[in-house]
Structure 1
Amino acid sequence: MILRLLFITVLLLFIEFYAFQAIKSLIKIKWILISYQVISLLVFVFLLYSFTKFDRSVGQTRQTLFTMGLFLLVFIPKIILTLFMFGEDIFRVGSGAVNYFINNDSNTTFLASRRKFVSQVGLGLAAVPFLSLIYGMTIGKYNYKVIKQNIFFPDLPDAFDGFTITQISDVHSGSFDNPEKISYAIDLVNEQNSDMILFTGDIVNTFATEMHPWIETFNKIKEHKYGKYSVLGNHDYGEYLDWPSAEAKEENFVAIKKLYGQIGFDLLLNEHKFIHKGDDKFALVGVENWGHNFKQAGDLNKAAQNLTKEEFKVLMSHDPSHWEYEIKNHEKNFQLTLSGHTHGMQFGIEIPGWFKWSLAQYVYKQWAGLYENVGRYIYVNRGFGFHAYPGRVGIMPEITVIRLKKGQNVS
Structure 2
Amino acid sequence: MSRWIILILLCLFVSFYGFQAIRTVTKNIWVYAGYWLISVLVMANFIYRYTNFVRGESFTHAHGYALAFLFTWFLPIMFITLFMLGEDLFRVGSYAVRKITNNEVDSNSRRQFLSQLALGVAAIPFASFLYGITRGKYNFQVIKHKLYFEDLPDAFDGYKITQISDIHSGSLESKEDIAYGVDLVNKENSDLILFTGDIVNSKAEEMGEWIPVFDKFKAKDGKFSVLGNHDYGYYAYGGDVELIGKNQLELEAVHKSIGFDLMMNESRRIERNGEHINILGVENWGASRHFPKRGSLKEATKHIGDNEFNILMSHDPSHFDYAKMELNKRDINNHDIVVDEPNIINFEKHIHLTLAGHTHGMQFGIEIPLLGIKWSPVKYRYPKWAGLYKEANKYLHVNRGFGYLAFPGRIGIWPEITVIELKKGTNKA
Query: TM-score normalised to the size of structure 2?
Result: 0.89
Partner of 1:234: 229
Which amino acid is the alignment partner of residue 187 of structure 1? D
Partner of 1:318: 315
1:34 aligns with 2:33: yes
By how many angstroms is 1:242 displaced? 4.9
Percent of pairs with identical residues: 51
Question: Alpha carbons of 1:57 and 1:283: their partners in 2 closer, same or farther (altered >3 Å)?
Answer: closer
Partner of 1:408: 426
User: In structure 1, which of residues 370, 374, 379 is the aligned counterpart of residue 392 of structure 2?
Assistant: 374
Q: Deviations over 1:251-290 (max 9, x none)?
A: 1122112211110011110111222112211221111111
Partner of 1:332: 349
Q: Which aligned pairs between 1:270-289 and structure 2 lie closer than 5 A?
A: 270-289=265-284
By how many angstroms is 1:351 displaced? 2.3
**Aligned partner of residue 238 in structure 2, secondary structure:** coil
By how many angstroms is 1:93 displaced? 2.1
Aligned residues: 405
Would the aligned equivalents of 1:59 and 1:206 in 2 still touch at CA under 8 Å?
no
Q: Which aligned pairs between 1:2-401 and structure 2 lie closer than 5 A?
A: 2-56=1-55, 58-100=57-99, 103=100, 113=108, 115-222=111-218, 224-243=219-238, 245-293=240-288, 294-325=291-322, 326-354=343-371, 355-401=373-419
Would the aligned equivalents of 2:136 and 2:410 in 1 still touch at CA under 8 Å?
yes
- Measure, in 1, the Cα distance between the counterparts of 2:383 and 2:305: 28
Would the aligned equivalents of 1:144 and 1:398 in 2 still touch at CA under 8 Å?
yes
- Measure, in 1, the Cα distance between the counterparts of 2:244 and 2:221: 34
Would the aligned equivalents of 2:57 and 2:235 in 1 still touch at CA under 8 Å?
no
Query: TM-score normalised to the size of structure 1?
Result: 0.93
Would the aligned equivalents of 1:57 and 1:243 in 2 still touch at CA under 8 Å?
no
Q: Deviations over 1:190-221 (max 9, x none)?
A: 11111111111111111111100011121112
By how many angstroms is 1:347 displaced? 1.7
Would the aligned equivalents of 1:348 and 1:358 in 2 still touch at CA under 8 Å?
yes
- Measure, in 2, the Cα distance between the counterparts of 1:236 and 1:97: 62
Would the aligned equivalents of 1:56 and 1:242 in 2 still touch at CA under 8 Å?
no
By how many angstroms is 1:353 displaced? 4.3
Q: Which moved more, 1:328-337 or 1:148-157?
A: 328-337
Please list every run of 5 or more consecutive structure 2 residues that lacks an aligned counterpart in the other structure: 323-342
Q: RMSD across aligned C-alpha pairs, in angstroms?
A: 2.0
- Measure, in 1, the Cα distance between the counterparts of 2:313 and 2:40: 48
By how many angstroms is 1:379 displaced? 0.9
By how many angstroms is 1:146 displaced? 1.4
**Aligned partner of residue 90 in structure 2, secondary structure:** helix
**Aligned partner of residue 297 in structure 1, secondary structure:** coil
